[in-house]
Chains A and B, each alone.
Chain A
Amino acid sequence: TQLLEQSPQFLSIQEGENLTVYCNSSSVFSSLQWYRQEPGEGPVLLVTVVTGGEVKKLKRLTFQFGDARKDSSLHITAAQPGDTGLYLCAKGGNDMRFGAGTRLTVKP
């Protein structure tokens, strides 16, 4: 059983579309991180959210931490082929746990 459930598992969209991916858990987190992983590389940190209800923006990416700090979402506006990759959420802590990820493909 995954501590962190990510949905959808796969997502394929056309360039210019908007999308949202989700990270959910029954546990409360002290913090949550989002990473992006490209083929042949290790994950790279995109953002850390700490406060319930927090919203952070990174160019076309908007990250939200749920009020109860049990869930998070990542919204991408006007997706581009360069956004293609595996998006992973992870709960903070010494033994950081990761979700299984959402594999996003953006077609030109």
Chain B
Amino acid sequence: DADVTQTPRNRITKTGKRIMLECSQTKGHDRMYWYRQDPGLGLRLIYYSFDVKDINKGEISDGYSVSRQAQAKFSLSLESAIPNQTALYFCATSDLTTRRIFGPGTRLTVL
């Protein structure tokens, strides 16, 4: 089984809809992250969490929210999706080292 799983893997939605992307990990890591990837811009950090009670904004948090339901689960929400949120979204985990272990990604299209 994969260490980091993401659901759904692909999603097409319409402008204004609420969307939730889910991430689960079996590594037992405390730290979890959400990134988005756009062509030519690399990976940009949206939010990160160092434990269940800790939530931190990344460089592009506007328009997004997160919930850390448990050590193993970290979900990303788009309250009202807009077309420029069309991107690849990656969840990642890490222990106390800086190494990130990434999930397979979710391809989100907002029409």
- Listed in ascending order, the chain A residues whose CB lies under 8 Å from chain B are 2, 4, 6, 9, 31, 33, 35, 40-45, 48, 88, 90, 92-101
- Distance (whole angstroms) from the CB of B92 to the closest CB of chain A: 7
Assess the B98–A43 pair: CB atoms within 8 A: no
Summarize A's interface: helix, strand, loop or mixed. Answer: loop
- Interface residues in B, total, Cβ within 8 A: 25
The residue on B at minimum CB distance from A99 is B42
Q: Does B100 contact A (CB under 8 A)?
A: yes
In the bound complex, what is the Cα–Cα distance between A33 and B104 (angstroms)? 19
Pick 22 A–B contacts, CB within 8 A, sort by A: A4-B42, A9-B40, A41-B104, A41-B105, A42-B104, A42-B105, A43-B102, A48-B98, A88-B42, A90-B100, A92-B98, A94-B48, A95-B45, A95-B56, A95-B59, A96-B33, A96-B98, A97-B45, A97-B59, A98-B35, A98-B43, A99-B42
The residue on A at minimum CB distance from B31 is A94
Q: Does B99 contact A (CB under 8 A)?
A: yes
Summarize B's interface: helix, strand, loop or mixed. Answer: strand
- Distance (whole angstroms) from the CB of A85 to the closest CB of chain B: 13
Query: Residue-by-residue, is B37-73 near A (CB-CB < 8 Å gives 1, otherwise 0)?
Result: 0001111110010100000101100000000000000
Given A45-B100, A48-B99, A96-B100, CB of A2 within 8 Å of CB of B45? no
- The total of interchain contacts (Cβ-Cβ below 8 angstroms) comes to 59
Query: Residue-by-residue, is B5-45 near A (CB-CB < 8 Å gives 1, otherwise 0)?
Result: 00000000000000000000000000001010000111111
